[in-house]
Structure 1
Amino acid sequence: MSLLVACVLVGCNADRTAAVRELNVGMEAFQAGSSSEAVEHMEEALRIDPTFAEAAYLLGQVYQMRLNNYEEAARGYRRALDLEPTNAQYAYRLGTALVDQGKLDDAVTQFEKAVANDETFSRAWFRLGLTQDRLGNHTDAVASYTRAIETNPRLRMSKEDPGGEHYHALADLYLRFGLSDHAVQVYENGVQNNATSTRLLHGLGVARMELGRFDEAAQSFEATMKQEPGHGSANFNLAVAHHRRGDTDGAVAQLESFLASGAATQDVARQAAAQALLTELQEDEEK
């Protein structure tokens, strides 16, 4: 959220000037962490100038991001969208607020409106795909995820996001339906474009395992652990890959490493599976 709004329109009237002043005070309050004060000033801006779409939009953001009041957030976004019906960002944010309320069908409508007004809006394509997926509209979800990838292969949903979540969503959908070869292709492309994403590296290993490509799967899990040494799933799955490719010594060593790690204590089910496999392998060696 930008800090200041300028009244730059030619012939900006007195109402808009006063509304911009109120909005800027509200945004400063938002930045300072005073959400209730921000709401007061933004609502005052809208009282002064009911046609001020940006004020309605920013009011929606305060309700959604700080107050977790998704109904009021949706009302703000909808008001902004009524004033500017072709604004893709307003439609997108309304879609996210509707998802927060569990109104998935209505959210799909808004995400579709966003991408109709901006075909390159990769974030909206991704959220559209996620929502369609949740609704069970898997064919539509595949198309939306694909468009998200095509419009921005390095999409990041936040500053902390290493990227590639749209690749993972598409590949995971393929895995759920047994299309492991498709999943591998998606993950490989995703890793090329988002090299620091451990989620994609690990997912690639899982997909390769599904195809029986255990040597390559082990390489993926090793690469995952190189980037994130404490990655418990990769640690365990690397042991399984060693076992499946006939490397008993490697499997035993990896299982022992996993069981000695903190990751094992945080995943009781996988810890039990690792211990059972380790016991089985050790007993086989003793025969």
Structure 2
Amino acid sequence: MKHAILYLIFASIWIVGCDSSESPSNSNSESPEAQTQATPADHIQALSLQISKNPKDYGLLEDRSRWYFEVDSMEKAMKDIEGAIALHPTGDQLYAWKGFLYYAQEDTATARSAYIESIRLGSKDPEVFYQLGQLDFFQKRYEYAKSGYEEAMKLDESDPQYPFALGFMKEEQGSEAKAVQWYVKALKVDSTFAKPLIRLHDLYLNFYENEQVAMDYNAQLLRSTPDHALGNYQKGGFHLRKAKELLGTPENPRFGFHLNEAVTAFTISVNSDPNFVDAWYSRGRVYFFGQTRIDEAVSDFEQTLTLNPKHAQAHFMLGSIYERNGDLKTALSYYSEAVAHNPDSKDFQRAVKEVTAQLK
């Protein structure tokens, strides 16, 4: 659950690394080598011993709360931060951590109150304003979200996450041109930042229908992260589209070139993320279009169904292959599954009807 929440808030990394500057404790007294070798359980045990000797040291409770979070002991983490706040009710960073913990538990009302209290107590941490903006964004309180993001950006102009968040909000509101401006601003801060590169690719490909600009942004993404799963998937999709445009002309050298480039890109994608369902399916389509690697196409479609048994298109493609090979009963089974998962598809319905007629 922890990782899902971190994704929802755009993978903010500030909380797990920050220390309370107001804390009187010096709990990180171990050598760097000892800290590297220690496990979370070791840290928790050591902190518990220190707390038993210094029960009024709120910093120790805060530190242990963070380690409890690392091992998903949320109830204990929240108990410790509440204890720390009881000992030091004016600690703005304590309230910031409390906000995060309650947000991780999907208690957004308590999280909001904690973030607001952190700001009232004088927090100048841009992440506190950003997280409050995130809460407002997910509740579609866009004006409040905008205020939070903008304040975060004022406090730290070096973090590209803040202009990206403003761009993502504009895109959600249907202001694509404004979104592009904010994404470009994020890239001026960090030209390798993947999130705006991905969004710019999608906007130019699907909204502006400018494939060249879209692929330029994708190329920029792959220059900084050559094995990026989504970047290679998008590259493979480009070459697959180009190959489809040349269907019926297998003698055209560009047809084979685009097929090979697509296979290479999708292979990098599945190697980088073995659970990337659409990359497995798309590589199977490339093998199918090439007509010379059908066994590999079958393998990729089967892997697609292993990851997602309800993938209607994979069922349909396997049905097509078995029908072509004369195994009509197996073909009908796959076609029927395709219809079951997408009953509105006329192509799937037609396939079932035609193969059923042949079996009579």
| TM norm structure 2 | 0.61
Report the equivalent of 1:165: 230
Give the Cα–Cα distance (whole angstroms) in 1 for the partners of residues 358 and 281 of structure 2: 24
Identity over the aligned pairs, expressed in percent? Answer: 21
Residue 41 of structure 1, CA deviation: 3.4
Greater shift in the superposed pair: 48-57 or 82-91 = 48-57
Q: Does 1:186 align with 2:262?
A: no
> Which residue does the alignment assign to 2:298?
218
Structure-2 residue corresponding to 1:62? 135
Which structure's relative contact order is higher, taking Cα pairs within 8 Å and 6+ residues apart?
Answer: 1
1:45 aligns with 118
The alignment partner of 1:195 has SS state of coil
Superposition pairs for residues 236-275 of structure 1, below 5 Å? 236-243=316-323, 246-249=324-327, 252-261=328-337, 263-268=338-343, 269=345, 270-275=347-352
> Does the CA contact (< 8 Å) of 1:3 and 1:31 recur in 2?
no
* C-alpha distance in 2 between matches for 1:211 and 1:257: 25
CA shift digits 1:130-184 (9 cap, x unpaired)? 23323323222112223334434565xxxxxxxx333333433444454653434
Give 2:190's aligned amino acid: D
Per the TM alignment, residue 24 of structure 1 is displaced from its structure 2 partner at its CA by 3.3
Structure 1 SS opposite 2:274: coil
Distance 1:29 1:242 in 2: 52
Partner Cα distance (1:233, 1:90) in 2? 38
Distance change (3 Å), C-alpha of 1:45 and 1:193: closer
Structure of greater Rg: 2
What CA deviation, in whole Å up to 9, does each residue of 1:242-271 have, x standing for no partner? 44xx4122xx1332222454x532212154
Structure 2 stretches of 5 or more lacking a match? 1-5, 7-14, 23-89, 246-257
Following TM superposition, by how much is the alpha carbon of 1:18 offset from its aligned partner in structure 2, in angstroms?
Answer: 4.5
CA distance in 2, matches of 1:143, 1:26: 40
Distance across 2 between alignment mates of 1:196 and 1:33: 27
**Inter-CA distance 282–214: structure 2 relative to 1 (3 Å threshold):** farther
Deviations, residues 38-67 of structure 1 (Å, cap 9, x unaligned)? 2233234334437442221111122234x2
Q: Deviations over 1:186-239 (max 9, x none)?
A: 223323333332211111122333344462433432343355455332121012
Residues 134-149 of structure 1 mapped to structure 2, 5 A cutoff: 134-136=206-208, 137-149=210-222
Residues 1-287 of structure 1 mapped to structure 2, 5 A cutoff: 2=15, 6-8=19-21, 18-49=91-122, 51-65=124-138, 67-136=139-208, 137-152=210-225, 155=228, 164-176=229-241, 178=244, 181=259, 182-213=261-292, 215=294, 216-243=296-323, 246-249=324-327, 252-261=328-337, 263-268=338-343, 269=345, 270-279=347-356, 281-282=358-359
Which residue in 2 is equivalent to 1:13? Answer: none
Partner SS, residue 119 of structure 1: coil
Output the amino acid matched with 1:27. F
Is the Cα–Cα contact under 8 Å of residues 149 and 166 in structure 2 kept in the other structure?
yes
Q: For 1:188 and 1:26, how far apart are their aligned partners in 2?
A: 41
Query: Residue 84 of structure 1 aligns to which amino acid in structure 2?
Result: D
The residue number in structure 2 matching 1:14 is none
Aligned amino acid, residue 76 of structure 1: G
Provide the C-alpha distance between the structure 2 equivalents of 1:44 and 1:282, rounded to a whole number of angstroms.
71
- How many corresponding residue pairs? 262
CA spacing shift, 1:139–1:75, aligned 2, 3 Å: farther
Structure 1 gaps of 5+ residues are: 10-16, 156-163
Q: Provide the C-alpha distance between the structure 2 equivalents of 1:63 and 1:175, rounded to a whole number of angstroms.
A: 40
Determine if contact 2:319/2:335 at 8 Å carries over to the other structure. no
Structure 2 equivalent of residue 158 of structure 1? none
SS in 1 for 2:275: coil
